[in-house]
Amino acid sequence: MAAADKAKPSKTMLSLPVSVVVLAIAYIYFSTVFVFIDRWLGLFSSPGIMNAAVFSALAAACALTYRAAISTDPGRVPATYMPDVEDAESPIHEIKRKGGDLRYCQKCSHYKPPRAHHCRVCKRCVLRMDHHCIWINNCVGHANYKVFFIFVLYAVIACIYSLVLLVGSLASDSIQDEEKNGRSSFRTVYVVSGLLLVPLSIALCVLLGWHIYLILHNKTTIEQYHEGVRALWLAEKGGSIYKHPYDLGPYENLTFVLGPNILSWLWPTANHIGSGLRYRTIYDLPKGASTSK
């Protein structure tokens, strides 16, 4: 785990986008618990206490996984890394697009392991780099991909849950206002929350769906958008069918990211990920084994 330790990135974790996310989490939490739940169910009623407890647990999970995604180093390439082209257990050695040489980072002055890429923002190579995310002020890579994915999952559930409570509270509030012939003093909260939650829920659902697709095919965003398109074109040009070498089948791909123990899938730990210098490929599978199960 030396190459994928969980040391904090050298740059500061705080940025304007991170501050916006923190404020959004805080606003959604307080408006949901102290306005939506309180005015609809009553904060001290049994349904109110139950919903407040569940939503508080979701908010805590979002906050903890978000902090972990920010503070976890995505994976550094060891300064001593050197690809072994004679290693029989490593059938794939990624090469440059031009020249066919082993991939070498001129800026970092070292060879690149498979699936590693140089991040211009972080100014270093990142193991199994997916993308650089301004909302966590960090790269999403080998060591923090799982916790990033779990954060997005919890955030989607929390946003949809908050929307349901908002609609229920708004309907209840409207009935009470009609009976009292008055106007709701929380109308501004409802409007702001709706304008925040609706587009946020849609964006997060799209992001979650995208990463579910990537996980099931064992791809990164870079491999899907950039390398995958070129590899597909080259394969079609050569009259062959392109097969992503790291796609081991949906279940194997899922356990590769979330871990072999299903009980730990929603927990932000990644003790199963290994060094990040080598990954299983379709060439590691027994002959005749299917990757479609």
Which residues are known catalytic residues? 133
For residues 127 and 65, what is the distance between their CA atoms, to the nearest angstrom? 20
Amino acid at 254: L
Distances 82 to 6, 68, 137, 155 between C-alpha atoms, Å: 22, 30, 29, 39
Q: Which residue(s) pair with 95 in the sheet?
A: 102
For residues 38 and 31, give the distance between their C-alpha atoms in angstroms, rounded to a whole number.
10
Q: What is the dihedral of CA 253, 259, 263, 266, to 10 degrees?
A: -80
276: which DSSP letter?
Answer: S
3-state secondary structure of 263: helix
Burial status of residue 199 (CB atoms within 10 A of its CB: 0-12, 13-18, 19 or more): exposed
Find the helix packing angle between 46-71 and 16-31, rounded to 10°. Answer: 170
